[in-house]
Structure 1
């Protein structure tokens, strides 16, 4: 009998307790720190026969060899993947143009003087909707939401095309979300709210002085107050606002002041508002990225400690929406969405319909010829070889990931970043994931009043013998 290769220990801050998570069985349990220490040190004599039996059943200890447990993990991963790929998610990019000039934008190479950024017309909208219908029939599973991305999707100039999309799309049963800089959101006022454009992600990088220095319009004007007014408008219309704060070493302290402004605006108490911090990826590699991530996690914890007495909850989260959803699903016993061998939809079921008429699976690959997996304009054509290259990059096909306890959570990390930093698409990109995972588990558990009464475990094909 030995400690499982896939057990994860998450100490709870300021409490004499540890959360146990099993990476392939889906088990989650709260134990004392003493229990966790004895388990780590395999002091079996400290546990009753019933305790040992329970831990065997839930996966924390095992009689399997390391190789046998790895083979079991792969079998479960294949079953999980077989279910997940029978679905799709759609992203529509009406333009690659943007009215801002943010230095850190990963799309800047698309908008140079020698590279005129394209936009779609109504014929391309119709072609994209036809392609979406065909992909749903091909893959199975109904898609009812479309995410708008760019460039800046909600430019005033895009309104005629998006009016066409909203009209035809809602008739087909779609609802819409958008990632927008928020500067021209007021031009879409009549589409905002339940039924059409229901949620938007908007970025503020600090108070006015800091934000306007980083996210300025191409005419040199600041954008803070226009965005602030548009957020007020959207919240009043019932739109959910996900507020992103990009954080670098030089702007870290300004985030505290920005959250204080949210408080003064009344946003922190609004049920349609949420905010999160996203570390800006620099050029220092994974070690530097991890160091910044650790500092931002500390910042988020300190901000939440300051505001929790008044609001009774965390008011700021860390970036990692996919991971947060996985953990939330895990605690709701929805293991099919909690555990997956794919890092994100780019390696599983996502199709990005870009303004150049091409289809990609990753929005960070837009404009890169090798990242294209087909086209939707004028008709749907898929490059199966390229599509398989993207959809087959997951933890089941990366040897180092098969033995990792985060196999179904990190799932190999981002393929684009693996290629950029490791020069190998099929290599892992961990990027400080263990620390990020512990933070999100701690945040999720803090919001549960009683973990013991939460149904959190399915066998999912997991067997102890």
Structure 2
């Protein structure tokens, strides 16, 4: 039996859903067959519940659940598949470019992973990006704004053979912080938007939304086009968590600014950071979204995510528990909040469409080329490491880009086939090794797995998502009003 079988029982207990972690096969089988394959992964089928040599066995072989390969040969197939996907990732993805206009923040959320010194603007953290820094950053962008540019710069890919003397237009640029959209950054963000518009680019931002009204003239598809904004519950709880020196009551201000952004045709993704203290507010926020009509807005989506204890990356509420909560909200067809269903839904949709369900082998843009320009002239390649001098990947300025090529090459060399534990895991091409920074914190190296409980919740998510889609396709239930649109924003651990 294959070592890469994944599966879970369906709501109809007679049936079991199988997924092959390399082949991408998706099959609905008898529960006795599916459970036997999952429980005995990698073993010889000594007493299978199907007839030896019969039709069922032939089908299981054809789909990859039964194999003539040894465990090491099958692992080799996994590594080869992951390597092929990784090469496509590196060659087809342009670098991601992000501006950090300032490290300061107008809030002091207690669970934030960034330091108080950073948000208070102490020492070098007081620096706000200048126009000269912005111009220097765009010089770098002009030289790297094509697919595979960073990988080719590091000789990880062969030269493209194309004329790249004229820079093209990056689709979207990012803003991050600290808090990128605050009073102190209004002037420089306006300049970044101006420069981006001149080259045909729009911007996205991860923002707390408290002072978004100051940027009203920049909102829209050709300016600040996409926003991720956090609400942690209704006003009573939210205002105890999302607070700052000048902002003691932020809930209603943020809600008003979300309305303002949606009215300007901005794509808004509301994020809720969930721990034990506010899990019961997910349903209340969902009701609020629907009362305000946001769930019907084509540019709105909402997602809940667990907050972690950053020092040890301990989950303060499990993804499995959170997913159970958001699933319960969907049962009456009136939820617009998702959590961790995206992996399963995307795989099932691709499999039903008869395409290969595993589309990439990297976990985030840090592993294909992420260049984050800070106001001091430092470059970073990971959201969680911004502002930590010892983690920078280079410097920019004075017409010079000085990359620490060894560090960047390591980032771009991380994928499941390069990690022993991942190469033996049936979930490797789905979870793609997890967050590299989490792996570094937990093990001391980015070349390690960051499982983050994925194996515990994914099989059930797969089965539940299949049940929902099957029922909708067969017309046995009304389709749930679940918004699962996602922005091209890398998820940040603590938002």
Pick the aligned partner of 1:406 from 390, 402, 427.
Answer: 427
Q: For residues 289 and 186 of structure 1, what CA distance do their matches in structure 2 show? A: 34
CA 1:45–1:10 in 2, change beyond 3 Å: closer, same or farther? closer
Equivalent in the alignment of 1:295: 321
Could you say which residue in structure 2 is the equivalent of 1:362?
A: 382
Contact 2:11–2:464 (Cα < 8 Å) also in 1 = no
CA distance in 1, matches of 2:55, 2:169: 45
Task: Decide which moves more: 82-91 or 419-428.
Answer: 419-428
Q: Aligned residue for 2:458?
A: 437
Q: Tell me how far apart the structure 1 counterparts of residues 135 and 345 of structure 2 sit (CA, whole Å).
A: 34
The Cα of 1:299 is off from its aligned counterpart by 1.6
Q: Residue 69 of structure 1: which of 70, 74, 81 is its match?
A: 74
What's the CA shift for 1:163? 2.1
Conserved in 2, the CA contact under 8 Å of 1:97 and 1:111?
Answer: yes
Unaligned runs of 5+ in 2: 153-159, 161-167, 475-495
- What are the superposed Cα offsets for residues 315-364 of structure 1, whole Å, 9 maximum, x if unpaired? 2111586787677666656648x343322222233222223322222111
- State how far apart, in whole Å, the 1-side matches of 2:53 and 2:269 are: 47
Alignment correspondent of 1:97: 104
The verdict on how the C-alpha distance between 1:142 and 1:216 changes in structure 2, with shifts beyond 3 A counting, is same
Find 1:18's aligned residue among 11, 16, 19. Answer: 16
- 1:122 corresponds, among 93, 108, 131, to 131
**Greater mean deviation of Cα atoms: 132-141 or 115-124:** 132-141
**Separation in 2, partners of 1:205, 1:14:** 36
Q: Which of 110, 134, 140 in structure 2 is aligned with 1:131?
A: 140
Change over 3 Å in CA distance of 1:244–1:399 after alignment to 2: same
Give the Cα separation in 2 of the matches to 1:322 and 1:182.
28
Q: What is the root-mean-square deviation of aligned Cα atoms in Å?
A: 2.8
1: CA distance, partners of 2:179 / 2:344: 26
Does the alignment pair 1:272 with 2:299? yes
- Cα pair 1:98 1:151 within 8 Å, conserved: yes
Structure 2: distance between partners of 1:31 and 1:421: 38
1:374 aligns with 2:394: yes
* Counterpart check, 1:419 vs 2:440: yes
Given candidates 103, 115, 119, the residue that maps to 1:111 is: 119
Match of residue 456 from structure 1: none
Residues 411-448 of structure 1 deviation map (CA, whole Å, 9 limit, x = unaligned): 22212112222333322111101234335535653246
Shift of 1:391: 1.9
Partners of 2:416 and 2:130 in 1: how far apart?
39
Shift of 1:200: 0.9
- What does residue 152 of structure 1 align with? 179
Distance 1:52 1:182 in 2: 57
Distance 1:45 1:424, change over 3 A: same
Aligned residue pairs, count? 442
Q: In structure 2, how many angstroms separate the alpha carbons of the residues matched to 1:358 and 1:299? A: 41
Q: Which moved more, 1:440-449 or 1:177-186?
A: 440-449
Q: Distance in 1 between matches of 2:90 and 2:16?
A: 34
- Partner secondary structure for residue 430 of structure 2: coil
Tell me the residue number matched to 2:255.
Answer: 228
Pick which of 119-128 and 437-446 moved more: 437-446
Q: Which residue of 1 aligns with 2:3?
A: 5
In structure 2, the CA distance between the partners of 1:103 and 1:330, relative to structure 1 (3 Å rule), is farther
Equivalence map 1:175-214=2 (5 Å): 175-214=202-241
Report if aligned partners of 1:290, 1:432 keep a CA contact under 8 Å in 2: no
Partners of 2:344 and 2:34 in 1: CA distance: 24
Q: Distance in 1 between matches of 2:341 and 2:134?
A: 30
Residue in 1 aligned with 2:270? 243
**CA distance change for structure 1 residues 176 and 47 in 2, over 3 Å: closer, same or farther?**
farther
Structure 1 271/226 Cα, relative in aligned 2: closer, same or farther at 3 Å?
Answer: same
CA distance in 1, matches of 2:208, 2:191: 22
C-alpha distance in structure 1 between counterparts of 2:254 and 2:469, whole Å: 30
Task: Tell me the SS of whatever aligns to 1:205.
Answer: coil
Matched with 2:199 is 172
**Which range moves more in the overlay, 7-16 or 199-208?**
7-16
Q: Bigger shift: 418-427 or 32-41?
A: 32-41
Cα distance change on mapping 1:320 and 1:444 into 2, 3 Å: closer
TM-score normalised by length of structure 2: 0.81
Q: Please give the TM-score of this superposition, normalised by the length of structure 1.
A: 0.86
Residues 1:84 and 2:89 aligned together: yes
